[in-house]
Chain A
Amino acid sequence: MLEKTMLIKMNQQAYGTTRFQILTGDQIEQIYFAALDVLEISGARISHPEALELFTNSDAVVSEDNRVRIPTAMVEQALGSCPSKSTLTGRNGKRSVKLQKNEVAFGSGADAGFVYDRKSGERRESSFADVEAAAKIVDYLPRLDFCMSHGRVSNAPNPKTYDRHQFLAMIKNCTKPLVVTSIDGDGLRDQWEMACLLRGGEKEFRLNPLFATFIRSDSPLMSSNDTVDKLLFATEKGIPAVYTPCAVLGVTAPASIAGVLVQTLADALFTVVLCCLKKPGSPLLLGGIQSVMAQAKETPSYGSPELHLTSAAMTEIYKWLGLLSSSAGGCTDAKVVDEQAASESVMSIYNNLMAGTNLIHQIGCLDGGLTGSLASLVMCDEIIGMVKQIAKGIQVTDETLALDILKEVGPGGEFLSHDHTYDHWKEWFRPTIIDRSNYEVWSDSGSKTYNDRLEPEVDRILESHAPEPLDENIVQEMKKIINLADKKEV
C-alpha cells in the first residue's frame, strides 16, 4: 500500500472565467482625461432650474447661456460618492439582480412603438396585452434576469400616462426585477409609488429597490428638463437610475470611436456630478447607445459592430471608474427574426457579456428598436446560454485533466460508456430550439427551420406559463394611482 503524502501544487493561478479586454488602463486613462478636458473647456448645457441652481451653488462655472463647466476636482469627488453595488429585487423577493462589478444581467426592452404580429407577419401598434405577453415570457425564460417594457402601451386612455400602464402590465406578469421608462418626473413618481406599495414604504424601497429607471438622452451633453427631472427624483428617492446617453457617429458625435467614447463619458460624468450635488450616494448606472446611423433614419443602428465595440469599451471605462454599467444587447436592425437578427444578437450579447456589462437591455428589439418580437426574446435566451458557456471558461484539475481515464481507455478506445463521461456531460450546454438531429430524423419530422420551431415555443410559453399572481388588493391600489394620472393629465 502506498503511504499517504501531502501533495500540493503551489503558486497556481487559474482564470475563473474567460477574460476579455479591449482597452488597457492606460488607454482608458487617456479617454478619461480627454472627457475631463471636455467638461472643463466646453462643459454641458442644461436649462433645468433646480439643476442650474445646484451647479451655481457649487464650484462649477455657469455662464449666461446655461453652459456648465466643471472642474476635475468636482468630478472626482462625485465619483467617490457613487455606491459600488446595489441590488434589484423582484416583487416576491425571490429573484434579484446583483448590480456590482462584473455581474451581468439580461433583460428585455424597450418601449417599441410596434410589435411583430405573429399571425399576419406584419408590424402593428403595440398594446397593453403585448407588454403583458412579453413580461410573461421574460418571467418564464431562465436566462433573462429583468423585465423592461417590450413595447409601448399605445392604447392607454391618456397618451401621457402609458408609462404607468406599462409598469402595471409588467408587475402583474413578471416576478423578476423591472427596469422602467418614464415619460417624465411625474410618471416616475407614480411608478415609484406603486413600487412602494409593494415594498411597504419609501425606506423599504430604498433598501431594496424593485426597479431601476432607464433614462435616455438623445442630445449629447444637453439633457432635457424631463431627463433632469427624472434623474433628480430618482436620486432623491434612491431609485437606481440608468443614465443612457445616445449618439450617432459622425452626426451627433465624432466619427472616431475614441471620440464618441470621450463624449459619452463626459456626458455620463456630468450626470454623476449633477446627481451627487442633489444627494450623494444614490445608485447610478451609466450606459450608452453609440452607433452609426441607420440609412434613411435619424436613429442609431441597433446591430452595427461599432455599437458592439463602443458598448464593451464603455463598460470597461465605467468599470475602471468604479461605476455600474448598462448597454443594449440582443437587438437588431432586421425587420423579422432572420439570419441578420440572429447574427447581430449574438455579437451584442457576446461582447457585452465578455466585457461584464451589468444590465444588458433591449433584448427582443427588431428594426432598430422600433418593433418588438416575442420570438426574438426566446431566441436570445438560447444565445445567452451559448455565450455563457464560452464565458465560463475551462476548469483544469486532476479530475478534468482525466489522465488516468485516458490511460485506462487507451489509444483507439471510446469514452461514451465511461462513468467519467456520465459524470460530466451534463456540464455542457443543452439547446432548446437549436436542432442537432441528423438529416433523416430532421426531414422525417417535417424539415422544420429554426423559425418553424421557435414560433410554437412562444405559443407554448404563453399558453402554459402562469406567473405567480399579484395580490388583487395591490393591483386595485395601483389602478387608483393610474386612474388619477389618466384623469389629471387629460
Chain B
Amino acid sequence: MSTRTNQTVNQTAQFSILSQDQKQRIFEGMIETLRNTGVHLHHEQARELLKEHGALVDGVSVKIPQNLILDALATVPPVTVVQSWDGTRKTLIEKNQVLFGPGPTPPNFTDPHTLERRKYVRTDAAMVARICQALPNIGFVQSLGTISDVTVSLADVYEFAEMVQNTTKPILSWAFSRNTCSDIHQIAIAMAGGEDAFKQCPNYVFYGEPISPLLSDFHAMDKAMYCAENGIPQVYTPCCIGGGTVPATHAGQLVCALSESMLGVVVAQLINPGTCVIMGGVQSIMDMQYSVYAYGAPELGLLSAALTEMAKFVGLPMFSTAGCTDTKILDPQGAIEAATSVHSAMLSGANFIHDVGYFESGMTGSVLQLVMADEQIGMSHVVARGIDINDETLAVEEICNAGPGGNYSDTDHTKKFAASLWQPTLMDRSSYEDWAAQGRKTMKDRIIEKTRDIIANFEGPISKVPEDTKKKIADILQAAEAREAENAGAKSK
C-alpha cells in the first residue's frame, strides 16, 4: 500500500485580480494619499482626537501619518462573532467568510403583488426580513427600502424594529444620527436580553457611509464613534463613482476607497482598540451616456473583487456589492448583471456582499430580484467550492467495474454522490413538451410564484419574540417619537 506525500489542494476555487506587488502599490498609494492629500473631516471632536495622536489638522483638513494607520491596522480584530437574538445562529466575520444580503435605503419598491413601483412602507421591512430568512443563500438582512409611512426622522428605527423580530440572520442597520443610532442599539439590547448579553456577543452590525472623495460629514463620523464606543461592529464605507467622485482608472478608485474607509478604522481603533470595522462599499463607474451610477456594470464586479483583495491585504473584513442591476423591471438584463457580479463577489471571498435585489441603480428595491439572485448564488457556490479529489471521488474502481459504455444509474456510489448534487428551485430542466403543457412559464413567472409563496406561507421567527421584549421595543419607539416631536417643536419655534 503506497502513501501519497507533498500534496497541495485547492479546497475552493482560487480567484485573484491583483498580484502582491500590485496590492502593495495600492496600499502605498493609500498611505501617501492620507499623508499628503488628507481628508476633510467635519467633526471637531474626532479632529481633536486625531491631532492628539499626531495627525496634522488645519481647519477641516486632516492629514494622517502612516504610523497612525499601521497602529490602527495592528489592533483590528481577526475574528468577530455576531450571534442572533435567539442564540441559534452565529455569524463569523473573518477572512474569506462569505455572506450575501440585500442593501439599504432605495426610495422605491417593486410591489410583489401588483409588480408596480411604489413607495416603501413599514410592513415591507418585515416582509423583506422574512423573505431573507426563508432564502437559504441569503446570509444577512438589509431593508431594500426607506420606510415612507412613519415619522420621517425615525424611518431607520422603525425599519430595524420591524426587521429584527422577523429574522435571526444578522441585520446591517443604518441610522440618520447618533440619536437614532442609540434607539436602534436599545432595541438590539432588548432583543439580546440586556446590555451584558450584547457585550458578550453583538447581534447586529451597523452600516455607515462617508462621502466620496475623502470627506466625512459630521453624522457619518459621529455614528462611527458611537459604534466604536459601544462595541458595535460597523461598516464604514463610501460609494465611489469612477469618473465622478474618484478617478476613472480603477487603481486610483481603489486608493480612494481604501483611504476613505481607513479614516473610520483609525478613529474607531483610537476610541476602542479591537472594535470591528468593515471596509469596502459600492465601487462602480458613472455611465457617461445617462449620468447614472451603474450598478450593473462589469466594473462593479471587477472593482469590488479587487477591493476585497485589498481588504484581505490590510487585514480588514469586506463589505462588497453584487446582485444589483440597472434594469427597471425583472428581465434578462437584471439576470445578466446580477449573475456577473454575484459570481465575482463569491470568488473574491468578501464578507458581506450587499445590494442583492437592487433595481434601477439603487433607486428601487425588489424582492423578485433577490429571490432570483438566491438561485444564482446557489449556482455560483457549486463552482466556487471546487472539486473534492480523493480515491473515492476519483472512482477508478467504479469506472473499471462499469467498463466502456457502462451504466452507473443504480450503484451505491451514484446514490451517495448524486444526493450531494445541486438541486435547482427556479431553473427549468423539463422537456419542451412538458414545459409547454405546464403553461410555458418563464423564469420570471416562477420567481413571482416563489416570492408570493414565501410571503403567504413563511412565518419567520416573530412568534419566538418574548412579549416583554415586544413591549420594550414599543416603549423605545414611543420615547423616540416624543423626542422627535420635541425637536420638531423646538425647530418650529
In the complex, are the beta carbons of B399 and A263 less than 8 A apart?
yes
Which of A102-110, A168-176, A343-351, A469-477 participates in binding chain B? Answer: A343-351
Q: How far is the CA of A435 from the CA of B381 in the complex (A)?
A: 28
B213 contacts across to A, CB distance below 8 A: 406, 409-413, 415
A59 at the interface (CB under 8 A from B): no
Residues of A within 8 A of B429 (CB): 294-295, 297, 301, 303-304, 333, 368
Q: Closest chain A residue to B394 by CB distance?
A: A34
Q: Is A234 an interface residue (CB 8 A)?
A: no
Inside 8 A of B248's CB, which chain A residues have their CB?
Answer: 415, 420-421, 423-425, 427-428
* Contact-residue bracket for chain A: 35 or more
Residues of B close to A379: CB separation below 8 A: 332, 336
Contact of B396 with A434 in the complex, beta carbons under 8 Å: no
User: Lowest 9 CB-CB distances: which A-B pairs, in order?
Assistant: A259-B395, A402-B252, A305-B382, A342-B335, A258-B393, A255-B417, A411-B214, A400-B249, A346-B339
Stretch at the interface among A8-16, A185-193, A281-289, A320-328: A8-16
**Chain B residues in contact with chain A, CB under 8 A?**
6-10, 13-22, 25-26, 29, 32-33, 36-40, 61, 117, 211, 213-215, 242-252, 254-256, 285-290, 292, 294, 296-299, 301-303, 305-306, 326-340, 343-344, 347, 360-361, 363-364, 372, 375-376, 378-383, 386-390, 392-396, 398-400, 403-409, 413-414, 416-418, 421-422, 424, 426-432, 434-436, 440, 442-444, 447
B244 touches A390 (CB 8 A): no
Q: List chain B residues, Cβ under 8 A from A249.
A: 417-418, 421
Report whether A387 and B298 are in contact in the complex, using a CB–CB cutoff of 8 Å.
yes
List, in ascending order, chain B residues with CB within 8 A of A338's CB. Answer: 332, 335, 442-444
Do A412 and B428 contact each other (CB < 8 Å), given the known contacts A219-B405, A334-B443, A406-B213? no
Q: Please determine whether B329 and A447 come into contact, CB atoms closer than 8 angstroms.
A: yes
15 additional A-B pairs beyond A19-B16, A23-B389, beta carbons within 8 Å, are A30-B389, A31-B389, A42-B400, A252-B408, A258-B394, A305-B379, A342-B332, A385-B298, A394-B302, A421-B248, A425-B286, A428-B297, A434-B327, A435-B333, A439-B360
- CB-nearest residue of chain B to A335: B435
Q: Which A residues lie within 8 Å of B286 (CB)?
A: 416, 425
Closest Cβ neighbor of A336 among chain B residues: B442
Contact between chains at B251 and A397 (CB < 8 Å): yes
Would you list 8 pairs from A and B whose C-beta atoms are within 8 A, ordered by A residue?
A250-B417, A256-B413, A305-B381, A339-B334, A382-B336, A411-B40, A439-B117, A451-B332
Taking a contact as CB atoms under 8 Å apart, the answer to whether A38 and B400 are in contact is yes
Q: How far, in angstroms, from A25 to B7 measured CA to CA in the complex?
A: 9
A255 near B251 with CB under 8 A, answer no
Chain A, residues 143-180, CB within 8 Å of chain B (1/0): the string is 00000000000000000000000000000000000000
Find chain B residues with CB under 8 A from A14 CB.
Answer: 19, 21-22
Taking the closest CB of chain B, its distance from the CB of A310, in whole angstroms, is 9
Nearest chain-B residue to A303 (Cβ)?
B427
Q: In the complex, which residues 436-462 of chain A have their Cβ closer than 8 Å to any Cβ of chain B?
A: 436-439, 441-443, 447, 449-451, 454
- Of all chain A residues, the one with the shortest Cβ separation from B413 is A254
| B399 engages A406 (CB within 8 Å) | no
In the complex, how many angstroms separate the beta carbon of A316 from the nearest chain B beta carbon? 10
Contact assessment for A436 and B331 in the assembled complex, using a CB-CB cutoff below 8 Å = no
Residue of B214, B393, B403 contacting most chain A CB atoms (<10 Å):
B393
Residues in A neighbouring B18, C-beta threshold 8 A: 15, 393-394, 396
Task: Say yes or no: B333 contacts A433, CB within 8 Å.
Answer: yes
Known: A20-B347, A38-B400, A262-B394. A220 touches B405 (CB 8 A): yes
Chain B's closest residue to A23 (CB) is B10
Q: Is the CB of A21 within 8 A of B298?
A: no
Determine the distance from Cα of A37 to Cα of B287 in the docked complex, in whole angstroms.
55
B residues in contact with A443, CB < 8 Å: 328
Distance of A274 Cα from B329 Cα, bound (Å): 54
Contact B250 A400 (CB under 8 A): yes
How distant is the Cα of A435 from the Cα of B434 in the complex, in angstroms? 34
A370 within 8 A of B: yes
Cα distance A101–B396 in the bound complex, in angstroms: 29
> Which residues of chain A are near B361, meaning CB under 8 Å?
436, 438
**B414 to A401, Cβ gap below 8 A?**
no
CB-based contact B249/A402 at 8 Å: yes
State A393–B25 Cα separation when bound (angstroms): 15
Are B396 and A34 in contact (CB-based, < 8 A)?
yes
A139 at the interface (CB under 8 A from B): no
> In whole angstroms, how far apart are the Cα atoms of A26 and B399 in the complex?
21
Chain B residues near A438 (CB, 8 Å)?
A: 290, 292, 360-361, 363
Nearest-neighbour CB distance to chain B for A393, whole angstroms, equals 5
B263 to chain A, nearest CB (A): 10
Given A34-B394, A256-B417, A396-B26, A26 and B9 touching (CB < 8 A)?
A: yes
Query: Cβ of A447: which chain B residues have Cβ within 8 Å of it?
Result: 328-329
* A25–B305 CA distance with the chains assembled, in angstroms: 25
Kindly provide the distance from the CB of A143 to the nearest chain B CB, expressed in whole angstroms. 13
How far, in whole Å, are A396 and B25 apart by their CA atoms in the complex?
Answer: 8
B421 touches A335 (CB 8 A): no
**A250/B332 in contact, CB under 8 A:** no
- Chain B residues positioned under 8 Å from A261 (CB to CB): 387
Is A490 on the interface with B (CB-CB < 8 A)?
Answer: no
Is A483 close to B, CB under 8 A? no
Q: Tell me the complex Cα distance, A230–B386, Å.
A: 35
Contacting residues of chain A (349-366) with chain B, CB-CB under 8 angstroms:
350-351, 354
Q: Does A54 contact B (CB under 8 A)?
A: no
Would B404 and A312 count as touching, CB distance under 8 A? Answer: no
- CB-CB under 8 A for A407 and B36, given A340-B426, A438-B292: yes
| B430 & A434 in contact (Cβ 8 Å cutoff) | no
Residues of chain A contacted by B299 (CB below 8 angstroms):
389, 428-429
User: In the complex, what residue of chain A is closest to B333 when comparing beta carbons?
Assistant: A450
B427 touches A347 (CB 8 A): no
> How many Å lie between the Cα of A337 and that of B379 in the bound state?
19
> In the complex, what's the smallest C-beta–C-beta distance from B455 to chain A, in angstroms?
19
Q: Which residue of B lies closest to A430 (CB)?
A: B289
Task: State whether the Cβ of A296 lies closer than 8 Å to any Cβ in chain B.
Answer: yes
